[in-house]
Structure 1
Amino acid sequence: MKIQELARRLNVSTRAIRFYEEKGLLSPAKHPDNGYRRFTEEDAWRLQTILALREAGIAVDDIRTVLERTDRAETDEVRRYLELQRSALYGQWLELRETLALLDGMIERTEDEPESLRDRWHALAERAKASKAIRDSWADLWNFDALSEQWALNGSAGLTPHVPAEPAYSRILAQAAERVAPQHGEWGLDIGTGTGGFASRLLTSGVRMVGIDQSAEMLRRCRMQLPALETRIGNLLSVPSFDGQFEFVVTSFAFHHLTEAQQPLALAEMARVLKAKGRIAIVDWMDAPDDLYAASGTAPGEEHYAESQRLIAWFQTHGFRAETVSLDEASVCLVLAVRAPL
């Protein structure tokens, strides 16, 4: 087909098609007699892919990388890139939400006395700035991409100080899954899913599960072991989901990777994506510093273990009923919170 036909078919300008040619994203064959471009069905599919990637906010140079990897059938790398793009867009969306909340707060206070207005605006702006700084401070300090290979060969439990050794690990997760009690038709979220240890115990008949982790390599191995689990790149401070999507949200042995300043923001993110009357379950070492560090194999300052009563207080302040349940191993607790009806 000619360039005009392709443009009409995909509702794009001929100028845009020429631009993608100049950038090396399209290489249509030329007629041997007159040199006119002749676009094939494969060219049309490729252009449609380019337009979709551009609509998703992906830069032209990055589109070239995605297309090259697609041509080489490097599907894992293509998926990794697209998931990173999705995660970044969700992060931008969360920042926009916070900016809108800041503006709403400033508008509400425009009727304040002039001498106090500036101070109130400044306080709101500082609060928004602090929240952004906390979210941006997230980093994988433990190189979980590398750990994923060890976990795949030997199993995660006890291999690193991030989770307890077997058989306690399996007993803990089984007890926690029983308390979460997933029901037919529910949609659950496991944050920091790793290779899917907790999610696998929640994937009962008729339950849909999403697993989130900051490690693309962990997620790749997780999909191999649990094909029924939907996976997304993300973390506790930036959950790549819209509001109110899940009946239950869980996390196991990941919360202690957050600093004390990051933990309330993580709780807010878990609550944000939870449906009305939904439930949150946090499984982790808590409360007993001396025994806790000995059990986890880490030194004070390396991890940031939560105080269960502080978590309970946060939940109660934000409209939840919450309780603490001691699990199999010393210092391992389940904090289970249920959003109370209005």
Structure 2
Amino acid sequence: MAKILNTTPKAIRFYENKELIFPEKDEANGYRIFTENDLLRLSTILSLREVGFQVKDIKELLEDPDMSITQYLNVQRLALFEKWIEMKDMLNTLDHMIKHTENGNDADPMIDIHRMAKHLKNLKEIRKNWRDKWDFDSWADDFDQNIKKEGHTFNVHQDYDEALAKVAATIQLKEGDTCLDIGIGTGNLGSRFLAKGISIIGVDQSEKMLEACKRKHPAIDTRKGHFLALPLLDNQTDGIVSSYALHHLPDSEKLLALEEMTRVLKPGGEICIADLMFINEDHRKSVMDGYRTANNTEAVFAIEDEYYADRSVLAEWLSTNGYQVQTFQINDILSVIYAKRCETD
């Protein structure tokens, strides 16, 4: 095993002692017997260590000892992209620092250097600490059956089909284009583009959602990832869509998500997002006051448990960063944002 993976028996025993691998042992002589799954698991561990992951973090990533080949490869790809994005952030920060030290006009360039270093540290912490507090893995098997489209005291999925249809009709993609669906879930939005000859890359942080999506739509390229670390290279996709996903990010991270989308989107590319959001803060207050007056505690709890966006903030960021923006209101808590990126940066 050590020869195959270009490592040492000592390293293998170390990861066994840390309970990262679990090879069987021959009862007669104590020899370790490694399976193909052990090989894949150990290969993933070595790859993650190579890019700087700590043992405790690897143990968390590989919590399931019976992961499939695809799952192991997905974990490696996402980890490498996260490190690559982190390195790009570091290089950009260093470039800014160098410019400040070369510029003699600043009274105290060290203040700006300290600010940029703090900003970089904050970015690293946000990406590192991103977690799914809603446990979407547990939703995957019954997700499509449990979407509430009508009735109930408060229905977050009211006008669900209308919103997805609006996204599909608004974004102008053509045959041969590549479209990224972020938070793809079981593929209800991304699959609408397959018949048009558009290649779909579906990203989700939930392995179970990706598995469900792949069962329903084998043609979709499913990849583990999330809004703050998209497993794509720069300028790789012609379009980006997302539905009912952005509201799971705190407001402080939504603009980082738009930055990450811009990184992977080609010049001239398009973004179209259907999500739970308010038009602006006045609209949020008006809607929430209405629910409280009606004693609709279910609605108040549901909204406060998540992070419904301020649509005006998202639209302003997109406009400021080279997009032509249109917005469409579906109902009081549901909107669609469409943004076309300028052809040149």
Name the TM-score class by shorter chain: 0.7 to 0.9
RMSD: 3.8
1:200 equivalenced with 2:202 (yes/no) = no
Give the 3 Å change call, closer, same or farther, for CA 46–198 of structure 1 in structure 2. closer
**CA positional deviation for 1:331:** 3.2
Letter in structure 1 aligned against 2:109: L
C-alpha distance in structure 1 between counterparts of 2:5 and 2:210, whole Å: 37
1:245 equivalenced with 2:229 (yes/no) = no
Residue 108 of structure 2 aligns to a residue in which SS?
Answer: helix
Q: Is the 8 A contact 2:41 2:72 kept in 1?
A: no
C-alpha distance in structure 2 between counterparts of 1:20 and 1:133, whole Å: 29
**CA positional deviation for 1:132:** 2.4
The structure with the largest alpha-carbon Rg is 1
Q: What residue number does 2:112 align with? A: 120
Matches within 5 A, 1:178-193: 178-193=169-184
1:263 equivalenced with 2:266 (yes/no) = no
C-alpha distance in structure 2 between counterparts of 1:149 and 1:309, whole Å: 35
Matches within 5 A, 1:148-227: 148-151=140-143, 154-158=145-149, 163-165=156-158, 168-227=159-218
**CA positional deviation for 1:194:** 0.9
- Count residues in correspondence: 311
**CA positional deviation for 1:210:** 0.8
C-alpha distance in structure 2 between counterparts of 1:305 and 1:82, whole Å: 33
**CA positional deviation for 1:311:** 1.4
C-alpha distance in structure 2 between counterparts of 1:47 and 1:147, whole Å: 29
C-alpha distance in structure 2 between counterparts of 1:46 and 1:263, whole Å: 38
Letter in structure 1 aligned against 2:183: G
How high is the TM-score relative to the length of structure 2?
A: 0.76
C-alpha distance in structure 2 between counterparts of 1:157 and 1:247, whole Å: 32
C-alpha distance in structure 2 between counterparts of 1:205 and 1:177, whole Å: 11
Pick the aligned partner of 1:83 from 63, 66, 74: 74
1:260-311 superposed Cα distances (whole Å, 9 cap, x missing partner): 1111100101111101100011111222435479699452432222222221
Give the 3 Å change call, closer, same or farther, for CA 22–236 of structure 1 in structure 2. closer
Q: What residue number does 2:322 align with? A: 319
Percent identity, aligned pairs only, is 30
C-alpha distance in structure 2 between counterparts of 1:79 and 1:206, whole Å: 25
Q: What residue number does 2:343 align with? A: 341
Extract unaligned runs of 5+ from structure 1. 28-42
1:301 equivalenced with 2:310 (yes/no) = no
**CA positional deviation for 1:56:** 3.5
C-alpha distance in structure 1 between counterparts of 2:125 and 2:11, whole Å: 38
**CA positional deviation for 1:46:** 9.6
Q: What residue number does 1:146 align with? A: 138
Q: Is the 8 A contact 2:247 2:275 kept in 1?
A: yes
C-alpha distance in structure 2 between counterparts of 1:117 and 1:21, whole Å: 48
Residue 196 of structure 2 aligns to a residue in which SS?
Answer: coil
Give the 3 Å change call, closer, same or farther, for CA 317–17 of structure 1 in structure 2. same
Pick the aligned partner of 2:267 from 276, 284, 297: 276
1:14-55 superposed Cα distances (whole Å, 9 cap, x missing partner): xx576688789999xxxxxxxxxxxxxxx9x99996996577
Q: Is the 8 A contact 2:48 2:79 kept in 1?
A: no
Letter in structure 1 aligned against 2:116: L
C-alpha distance in structure 2 between counterparts of 1:175 and 1:259, whole Å: 25
Q: Is the 8 A contact 2:325 2:340 kept in 1?
A: yes
Extract unaligned runs of 5+ from structure 2. 25-33
